[in-house]
Amino acid sequence: MAEQLFASFILDREQGLEIAIAAESVTEATPITGNIQPLPASVPFLEGIMHLRNAVIPILNLKRRLGLDDARYDKDAKIAVVTLANQSFGLLFDDIREVLRIEESLIIPVQPALQSADYIISDLITLEKEQRTLEVLDLKKLFSDSSLLVSKAGATKLQADASRIRTYSRYVIFAADGHEYGIPVENSREITFLADIDATFKTGYLEGALQLRGHTIPIMSAGSLLNGCPASEGGSELRRVLIMSTDSLIFGMVIDEILEILTVVNEEILPMPARTEQSVVGIYEPVPDRNIMLLDVENLIAAQKELLTSMARINTDAEEDEKAAVVRARHLITENCYLIFSIGKNFAIELKDVQEIIERDTLMSIPAVTGFDSAVLNLRGQIIPVINLRQFYNYRQPEEEQNNFKLIICRDGKQVIGLQVDKIVTIYKQEQYYPTPSLNAQLQPKQDTLDRLIEYSNEKQLTEHVLVVNTHNLINNHLRHDISSLNQTLHYEAKLKEESSTEIV
C-alpha cells in the first residue's frame, strides 16, 4: 500500500492541536534564532521577518492564520522552514513532533462543504491506536491572495528556476600524488591489490601487467598518466590497483588510496575551460576547499589507447574472444561485486546495495535510546538511521574509542541506512557464492542477515570465507520500525531521486 512521508508539529500544546506537512516541502526545522522583527503594514498573520544564516525569511503565525483565540508563542517555540513557490517561509509552532510514514488509507479528505473559502486544512490523518488526529496543512492555500507570493515580474524567473531538474552521478573517488580524482562508477570494474604485477612489460606509462581471471590487464601509473610524473617507489599500504573499463578495453591504474563512492550533483560541477580533447569533466567541491577533479576515462587514455589495446590482446586463454570478454566485464554496480569491510573480522556487502561510502561524520545519538541503532546521521538534509555493525553482531568494541570509522550508506527500495564499520578493505569481484552452512551462537540470532558467503583472496593471497550481509533482511527484520519517530531534528528535505540497482566464527 502506498505511503506518504509527513513532518508533524505541535501547533498548540494546550489544545493538543497537531499539524502535518508533506515532508518534501519542509527544508528545515529550527529554534527561533534572534529576534523576529515586525514588518509594518503586513498581512495580519505575518509575525515578522527573521535572519536565518545568510537569508531573511518571513515568519508566519499559524495560530492567527487559523483564527485561534490565543495566538501567542513561548520563547522556546520552533520554526518549520517550508518552500512555497520557490520561496522560503517560516511557520511558527509550539514544538516539533516527528517524521512519520502514513498509509494513504489513513488520510481522510475534509469535505469542502464543511469549510470556508479561506480553508488551509485539506485532510485529516487519524491514528486510531494512538487516538491521535493530525490536520494536514495545504501550503498552496496558505495565502488567499497568490500575489503575496511573487510579483508578476519575478514569476517567470521563479518558474524557470523551479523547472530546473537536479541530476546525480556516482563517482569512485581516489587519491593520487596528493590530489583527489573521480571516475564514473560505470567505468569502474573492481579494486585489487598491487601484488603479482608483472614488471616484464614496464615501460613509460606502464607499471606492468596483472593476470586477472585469465586476462592480461595492462597497469598504468596514476602519476604518469595524470601528471606526467614518474611512478614513485614504495608508497603506502593503502595503495591499490583500480581496474577500469571503457567500451573497448580493460586496464588498471595504480593509485594511492580509494577514498569513497560519492553522489555528485551534476549541476554543481564547475566546468573546465573548453579544450579539444577534454580529459577532465570538471571540478566538484563537496565541501569548501576540497576540490575533486572528475575525469573522462575515454579521453584520459586516448594517447595511450593503442598501447593498452595491444597489451590487452595478450590473453592466457587464447581461444577466448576479446570482444566477448569485454561484454562479460562487470562494472562496480553488479551482482558479482562485493565491498569487503572489517568490524574486527572481515564481512562483505553486495556492491549494488551501496549508495556511497563516506568518512567518519558527526552522528547524533537519540536521547534515551541505546543499542546498535541508537544514532542517526544528517545526510545532505535527510535523516537516516545508523547501524553499529560491531554491536549488531555482538563483537566487542575496541578498548580505545573508535574515532576513524567509515559509514557505508545502503539503500533498500526507499529506505536508506548507514552501516558503521571499522574500515573498508577493498572491492572484490567474485562470480560464485555459497549458502552459509552454520553459524556460531554469537551470530545465530542474526542468521537471516548472513545467508551466504564468498571466498575472498586477501592481500597475502590467503583464502578466507567471508559472510555477506543481507541488507534487505537487516533493514526489514531488525531495524526499529519507529526509528523515524524518534528523530526530532533540525533538518528535513526531500529524498534524492532514485538513481538509474563446518562453523563460521
SS3 content of the chain, % helix, strand, coil (to 5): 20, 40, 40
Domain count for the chain, please give it.
3
Choose the most confident range, by mean pLDDT, from 145-149, 368-372, 501-505.
368-372
Number of other residues whose CB lies within 10 A of the CB of residue 149: 17
| Range with lowest mean pLDDT among 16-30, 176-190, 274-288 | 274-288
Between these two residues, 262 and 494, which has the higher pLDDT value? 262
User: Could you tell me if 175 and 300 lie in one domain?
Assistant: yes
Average pLDDT, the chain: 77
127: left (phi over 0), alpha (psi -120 to 50) or beta: beta
Tell me what pLDDT residue 14 has: 87
Each residue's pLDDT tens digit, 440-468:
889 998 999 998 999 888 767 788 899 99
- DSSP conformational letter for 334: S
User: Could you tell me if 197 and 94 lie in one domain?
Assistant: no
How far is Cα 29 from Cα 239, in angstroms, rounded to an integer?
43
Is the pLDDT at 488 greater than 70? The verdict is: no
Each residue's pLDDT tens digit, 177-188:
888 999 998 888
pLDDT, average across residues 478-503 = 44
Tell me what pLDDT residue 93 has: 94
- DSSP conformational letter for 314: -
Tell me what pLDDT residue 239 has: 77
Q: What is the DSSP string of 97-111?
A: EEEEEEEGGGEEEPP
Residue 278 lies in a domain: yes
Q: How confident is the model at residue 60 (pLDDT cuts 50, 70, 90)?
A: very high
Residue showing cell 611512478: 231
Tell me what pLDDT residue 421 has: 93
User: Could you tell me if 193 and 310 lie in one domain?
Assistant: yes
Number of other residues whose CB lies within 10 A of the CB of residue 399: 6
| Range with lowest mean pLDDT among 71-85, 154-168, 176-190, 246-260 | 154-168
Q: How confident is the model at residue 238 (pLDDT cuts 50, 70, 90)?
A: low
User: Could you tell me if 445 and 303 lie in one domain?
Assistant: no
pLDDT, average across residues 283-303 = 86
CB 442 within 8 A of CB 393: yes
Number of other residues whose CB lies within 10 A of the CB of residue 211: 14
User: Could you tell me if 234 and 305 lie in one domain?
Assistant: yes
| The C-alpha cell that represents 175 in the structure block | 587519491
Tell me what pLDDT residue 216 has: 79
How far is Cα 470 from Cα 242, in angstroms, rounded to an integer?
26
CB 157 within 8 A of CB 206: no
How far is Cα 150 from Cα 121, in angstroms, rounded to an integer?
22
User: Could you tell me if 299 and 374 lie in one domain?
Assistant: no
Tell me what pLDDT residue 349 has: 92
- DSSP conformational letter for 229: P
User: Could you tell me if 242 and 275 lie in one domain?
Assistant: yes
Q: In what order do the strands lie in the sheet with 132-137?
A: 95-103, 3-12, 17-22, 132-137, 121-127, 107-109
How far is Cα 243 from Cα 217, in angstroms, rounded to an integer?
8
Tell me what pLDDT residue 235 has: 52
| Range with lowest mean pLDDT among 95-99, 192-196, 429-433, 494-498 | 494-498
| The C-alpha cell that represents 268 in the structure block | 554543481
Tell me what pLDDT residue 346 has: 93
Domain boundary among 100, 125, 153: 153
Q: In what order do the strands lie in the sheet with 240-245?
A: 188-192, 240-245, 250-255, 215-221, 206-212
Q: In what order do the strands lie in the sheet with 257-265?
A: 270-271, 280-284, 292-295, 179-184, 168-176, 257-265, 354-358, 406-412, 415-421, 382-388, 375-379, 364-365
Residue 249 lies in a domain: yes
pLDDT, average across residues 193-219 = 75
What are the distances in angstroms from CA 220 to CA 194, 208, 217, 229? 12, 7, 10, 12
Q: What is the residue range of 275's domain?
A: 168-328
Q: Which of 449, 447, 444, 443 is nearest to 470 (CA)?
A: 449
Each residue's pLDDT tens digit, 328-365:
333 333 456 888 999 989 999 988 888 888 876 678 88
CB 426 within 8 A of CB 193: yes
Residue 452 lies in a domain: yes
Residue 381 lies in a domain: yes
User: Could you tell me if 415 and 438 lie in one domain?
Assistant: yes
User: Could you tell me if 141 and 250 lie in one domain?
Assistant: no
Domain boundary among 284, 304, 328: 328
Each residue's pLDDT tens digit, 418-432:
999 998 888 787 778
Residue 117 lies in a domain: yes
Alpha-helical (H) ranges within 431-495 are 471-478
H-helix or E-strand spanning residue 225: helix 222-227
Residue 88 lies in a domain: yes
- DSSP conformational letter for 64: H
User: Could you tell me if 99 and 177 lie in one domain?
Assistant: no
Tell me what pLDDT residue 212 has: 73
Residue 158 lies in a domain: no
Number of other residues whose CB lies within 10 A of the CB of residue 458: 16
Residue 27 lies in a domain: yes
Domain boundary among 99, 118, 153: 153
Is the pLDDT at 490 greater than 50? The verdict is: no
CA 384 to chain centre: 9
Q: How confident is the model at residue 312 (pLDDT cuts 50, 70, 90)?
A: low
User: Could you tell me if 285 and 362 lie in one domain?
Assistant: no
How far is Cα 345 from Cα 56, in angstroms, rounded to an integer?
51
H-helix or E-strand spanning residue 173: strand 168-176
User: Could you tell me if 174 and 315 lie in one domain?
Assistant: yes
Q: What CATH number has the domain bearing residue 225?
A: 2.40.50.180
pLDDT, average across residues 61-88 = 88
Tell me what pLDDT residue 61 has: 93
